[in-house]
Amino acid sequence: MKKRKISLSTTHIILLSFLLVIILGAVLLSLPISSADGKALPFVDALFTATTSTCVTGLVVVPTVSAWSSFGHIVILCLIQIGGLGVITVLSGIMILMHRRIGMADRVLLQDSFNLNSLSGLVRFVKKVVLGTFVIEGIGALCYMTVFIPEFGIKGIWISVFTSVSAFCNAGIDIIADNSLCNYVLDPTVNIVTMMLIILGGIGFPVWWDVIGRVKHKGRKSLTLHSKIALTVTFILIATGAILIFIFEYSNPDTIGGFNIWEKIQASLFQSVTTRTAGFATVPQENLTNASSVLCLLLMFIGGSPVGTAGGIKTVTFAVLIASALASVRNREDTVLFNRKLTKQTVSKAVAVAVTSFVILFVSTLLLSYVTDADALDIMYETVSATATVGLTRDLTPYLDTVGKLIITATMYLGRVGPISLAVALNIKKKIPDLIKDPTEEISVG
C-alpha cells in the first residue's frame, strides 16, 4: 500500500516552528538550573514564560527578576530575540553566516514569515534586518548603560542589554524590578530610549529602508504607500493617545496627578507608546481611570505596523478598515488612501485579520470570565493584551489559576503567529476551482 506523503504549507511550518521553540524553551525553563532558588518551577509556569517570551508579549505569572536564575534569564532573552525577529528569520540568518545557500523553498518561507508580496531581494532583506536589529539594540544598550551601570554596577551592562532587546522586540519583559519600569517614570533617559526602541521595532522593517532611502536621495524619492500609512497612523495614534491619557489622568493621584506638567507629558506619552504592544509600564495599569483603560484597550488591539516586532491587527490594517468604511458611507466603490486605490484583496485581508483577532479575543475573554471572578475590565485588559501580544496587565496575571494560565498561553500564541496565518493553516478544505461560481443574491446589511 502506498504511503501518503504529508505535505506542510509554509504557513503550517511557521506555526510549528514557533510552537517547537516554545516547547523547547518551556523544557529549559522547567529545569532546576533555570530557577533562582534551584528548585524547578511548575511546568505550566515555565510554559507560560516561554510563550510570553517567544510571542514577545510580556505577561508574567512569576517575577522575572527574582524567579529565574541567570541561566533562566539567558533562555528568556534568547526566546525574546528569536520571537521578535521570527524563527524563520533567525534560522535564515544563521544559514547566511554559514554561507549556506538559501533555496527557493526557504525564500517562500521567508516571504510568508515577513508577509511580503515578492520573493525579490529576500536574502538581502534578511541581512539588513538582522544587522539593523543588532545595531539598534546595541545603541539602545549603550544608552541604558548611562543609567543602569551607575545604579547596578557591572550588572548594569547585562540589564542594559536585556532591556534593549526586550524593548526593541516589543516584549516588555525586564530584569530590573517586579513593577516593570515604574521606578523610572520620571527618568527622561530611560523613557526616551525605551520609547524610541519600541517605535523603531514596531514601525516595521520596510519603513526603515524606505525612510533611509528618502534621506539618501535628499527627499527626491517619495515614500511608498505602505510607509506613508504606517508612519501617519503611528503618529496619530501616539499623539492622540498621549493627549487623551494626559487629560484623563491629569488629576489622578494614583498615576500622574502629583507630577509637574513636563512629568505628566512624559508619563502620558510613554503610556501611549507602550500600548503599541511593548508592555513596559511606568505607572500601575490597575490605577488608571476607566477612560484611560478603555482607550488603552483600543490602542493595544491596533498595535504596531506590519513586518516589524509588534503585534495587534496592525496600523495599516486599521487604516484600510477605516478607509473602506468611509468609502461605503460615501457610496464609493473604491477604497482610497493617499490618492491610491487599494485592491479588493487588500481590503478583504484587512477584514479577515480584524475579524479573526476579534474572535480570538472574544473566545479568550469568555473562557477567562468563566474560570475567574475578576473585574470585567481587568479580564478584558488581560485578554486584549494577550491577543495583541502587548504584556500590560491590571495586576491579574500573577493571580491566574492553572486553567487561566493555559487560556492566556493559548491566546498569546494565536495572537503572535498572526490571525491570517492561523486562518490559512486551519483551512484544510480544498479550494473550489475559479471556474465554478456561486449564485449572487442581495441581502440587507446594517
DSSP code per residue over 243-294: HHHHHHHTT-TTTTTTS-HHHHHHHHHHHHHHTTTT---SS-GGGS-HHHHH
Which residues have C-beta within 8 Å of that of residue 381, sequence separation ≥ 6?
A: 285, 293, 296, 297, 392, 393, 394, 396
CB 170 within 8 A of CB 311: yes
Q: Hey, is 336 helix, strand or coil?
A: strand
The torsion angle over the Cα atoms of residues 7, 10, 15 and 16, rounded to 10 degrees, is 40
Task: List, for residues 71-86, the tens digit of each pLDDT value.
Answer: 999 999 999 999 888 7
Give the global pTM: 0.89
288-328 confidence digits (pLDDT tens): 999 999 999 999 999 999 888 888 999 999 999 999 999 99
Lowest mean pLDDT among 87-101, 178-192, 422-436: 422-436
pLDDT mean across residues, the chain: 87
Distance CA 184, CA 234 (A): 24
The whole-number average pLDDT for the span 419-433 is 53
pLDDT tens-place string over residues 232-289: 999 999 999 999 999 999 999 999 999 999 999 999 999 999 998 888 999 999 999 9
Domain ranges of the chain: 10-421
